[in-house]
Structure 1
């Protein structure tokens, strides 16, 4: 798709890492930056609160959240640190995560555990998965009477697996356990309704599958849980001498972090609008078909195996190349240097995966080049 600015000489199969911003959205991003620079004081002090409120309203509507439950953050790592450091966790308490969580967010809880004395318990979800019920039951083996928080991905980064988070959140609520969902890969790739999911906390990027500019993310906290969350950065929105008094306290505490460029946040509505006008349902279906085609074709090669049934992944497909005994870093570099294919090669639990991401710009020819490259390399 010509709307993207990606290098046409590169087969870009790694949308999942940082996304890619289409031209109309990037143009809106630059317009906001120019507006900021034309009169920084007027923009930041007098215009920004209302502009942010509108952007926040639209992204809340897009994600099925209630007014006042969503704030903008740079990324999910920021939100994970906020929760890890806010909740009153201490010795004897446990935070349950899966063995497939994103490293930076896992580190946030492990670092806080060292400081506060609680335990981070990592529960395996065996691969391949068989059913949503089996996933929930496998994960639930890690729950104990000391479990105070569950932190788990909506779609895992390492293994590209879609997890039944609504079922997990409901079961946790029934047992009085708080839940935080890492939805970095969900909005834009699948439909997300935060009210229906029922998590206490949810964080996601807008710059991945929503195709907004880099550095735009959301942090959702249910209204009845907001008193539990302290701001990671204390700024002008916190004290009695507040600079702004136009939002509720949760938003004031967590979104006014000091001087920064808010253009990425303000561009999120343009990304939502681009999705709506780009027949995103058709794009998703086509992209999902291409990801599954890549897995199906690659799995025909000797020593290459599929990992998930089709029902458990969307626009990120996964193949297992453990049998080839390649060095992941070297093989990733080889695919790029020899074939101009940008795709992650991941080492996880003594297994080696290739994660293929597809989006509006992906073509059948890209998939053919990827499979041919594997065939020649192996």
Structure 2
């Protein structure tokens, strides 16, 4: 069997093909005339989308930010990929695994705004950004800038690099309620010196959901000759943007979050002019490739996850990029607007609509975040995650498209009751 025939057979058995989502098309048909912002509040539509997920009835899940589990359509196709690869065994691994991986990387690049040669599939955001931090051509005395609100693992990686290479890490603090983009930009700019080589900035701060003005920060940094690495763990498939329009040098994200790819998939973007600047962390099969493949080698890995990326993109595309973003924004504002000015409740996410989407953080004044999370789960059967650090005290709340307003009503009432204690 030659390679072309094998690829054709994959399409027949389901590895390279995707199941058409007729059910979603049928659900959507009566609502096609509605703009995304109008559809966002149509619970009758979104409750039908919810039926495509298998959800535990034990509690209300408002912690979708760590891992957005798969809709049944994607899950079944993923299982089929596993079965088929197990059936083909080494033959698949030695023939078309890399070609299929490249096709999925190319589709990600096209969907989220990059050249195919600038984007690689990794295992998660942490791996993507660690590859840049570890491979950057540091010299003793070089400086890097980051925020205390950035993800802990990334801050720790910069600490390791400081120990290894003698660089200096300058840590700023991003306000929870900035008055303007310029206030944020000036914080990063004020930390720049002639020794600054790299800024790490979160596209969306993971503990509060605040969206930062990435393009403006990148433009400012480049005027000073400083490169920018963006932590986009929560941004891909959450709200609409193009990576190449941000003007950043490096970008990493996790696909198991808002794109709902199986665990073990992320992406790394490197501007084509910077690819050869970064030293690979792990040696590829062929040294000095001169491509992004030089940076993203991980050895034998679960290739079924690579294939499921395309299925997840199909599902996302079928729901609609603008529709999903509008629904996520609606859900967050549905509950946050209801409690924002309630005595005893502290919102830790900016009120301006452009500065957030699905994720927000809320605290109860005088209550430890761990106690708050425990009370929500044990008394009200609402699952969240406690955040206590980097000037943020509260619980991170992350609904998804399958979250109902009735569930949020339970959460709103729980917050109001807890604030009275």
TM-score range (shorter-chain normalised) is over 0.9
Q: Which runs of 4+ in 1 moved over 4 A?
A: none
**Corresponding residue number in structure 1 for 2:329:** 288
User: Root-mean-square deviation (CA), in Å?
Assistant: 1.7
- Of the candidates 342, 347, 357, which is equivalent to residue 314 of structure 1? 357
**Corresponding residue number in structure 1 for 2:97:** 48
What secondary structure is seen at the aligned counterpart in 2 of 1:83? Answer: helix
Over residues 17-76 of structure 1, what are the superposed CA-to-partner deviations in whole Å (9 max), with x where a residue is unaligned?
Answer: 112211111122212211221122111110111111110110000111012101111111
Over residues 286-307 of structure 1, what are the superposed CA-to-partner deviations in whole Å (9 max), with x where a residue is unaligned?
Answer: 2211101211222343211223
- Of the candidates 188, 195, 202, which is equivalent to residue 146 of structure 1? 195
The alignment status of 1:101 with 2:142, answered yes or no, reads no
Residue 351 of structure 1 and its aligned partner are, at CA, apart by: 4.0
Over residues 260-300 of structure 1, what are the superposed CA-to-partner deviations in whole Å (9 max), with x where a residue is unaligned?
Answer: 11222221111111011113422321221110121122234
Decide which structure has the larger Cα Rg and report it.
2
The alignment status of 1:197 with 2:246, answered yes or no, reads yes
Q: Which runs of 5+ in 1 are unaligned?
A: 240-247
Report the Cα distance in structure 1 between the residues aligned to 2:273 and 2:320, rounded to whole angstroms: 36
**Corresponding residue number in structure 2 for 1:245:** none
Over residues 295-338 of structure 1, what are the superposed CA-to-partner deviations in whole Å (9 max), with x where a residue is unaligned?
Answer: 122234321122312321111122233x2232x22331221122
The alignment status of 1:168 with 2:217, answered yes or no, reads yes
**Corresponding residue number in structure 1 for 2:377:** 336
**Corresponding residue number in structure 2 for 1:131:** 180
Report the Cα distance in structure 1 between the residues aligned to 2:391 and 2:124, rounded to whole angstroms: 29
Report the Cα distance in structure 1 between the residues aligned to 2:286 and 2:210, rounded to whole angstroms: 38
Over residues 337-366 of structure 1, what are the superposed CA-to-partner deviations in whole Å (9 max), with x where a residue is unaligned?
Answer: 222211122112454122211221011111
Q: Using a 3 Å threshold, how does the CA distance of structure 1 residues 178 and 212 change in structure 2: closer, same or farther?
A: same
**Corresponding residue number in structure 2 for 1:242:** none
1:94–1:119 Cα contact (<8 Å) kept: yes
Report the Cα distance in structure 2 between the residues aligned to 1:65 and 1:263, rounded to whole angstroms: 24
The alignment status of 1:159 with 2:208, answered yes or no, reads yes
TM-score, structure 1 length as denominator? 0.93
Give the total of aligned pairs: 368
1:81–1:108 Cα contact (<8 Å) kept: yes
Task: Identify the range of structure 1 (205-214 vs 227-236) with the bigger mean alpha-carbon deviation.
Answer: 227-236
**Corresponding residue number in structure 2 for 1:18:** 67
What secondary structure is seen at the aligned counterpart in 1 of 2:117? Answer: coil
Q: Using a 3 Å threshold, how does the CA distance of structure 1 residues 69 and 255 change in structure 2: closer, same or farther?
A: same
**Corresponding residue number in structure 2 for 1:82:** 131
TM-score, structure 2 length as denominator? 0.83
Q: Using a 3 Å threshold, how does the CA distance of structure 1 residues 351 and 79 change in structure 2: closer, same or farther?
A: closer
**Corresponding residue number in structure 2 for 1:325:** 367
- Of the candidates 302, 312, 317, which is equivalent to residue 276 of structure 1? 317
Q: How does 1:17-36 map to 2 (within 5 A)?
A: 17-36=66-85
Report the Cα distance in structure 2 between the residues aligned to 1:280 and 1:84, rounded to whole angstroms: 31
Q: Using a 3 Å threshold, how does the CA distance of structure 1 residues 139 and 255 change in structure 2: closer, same or farther?
A: closer
**Corresponding residue number in structure 1 for 2:22:** none
**Corresponding residue number in structure 2 for 1:224:** 273
Residue 184 of structure 1 and its aligned partner are, at CA, apart by: 0.5
Report the Cα distance in structure 1 between the residues aligned to 2:337 and 2:286, rounded to whole angstroms: 52
The alignment status of 1:118 with 2:167, answered yes or no, reads yes
1:124–1:139 Cα contact (<8 Å) kept: no
The alignment status of 1:264 with 2:313, answered yes or no, reads no
Q: Using a 3 Å threshold, how does the CA distance of structure 1 residues 280 and 6 change in structure 2: closer, same or farther?
A: farther
Residue 237 of structure 1 and its aligned partner are, at CA, apart by: 4.1
1:237–1:256 Cα contact (<8 Å) kept: no
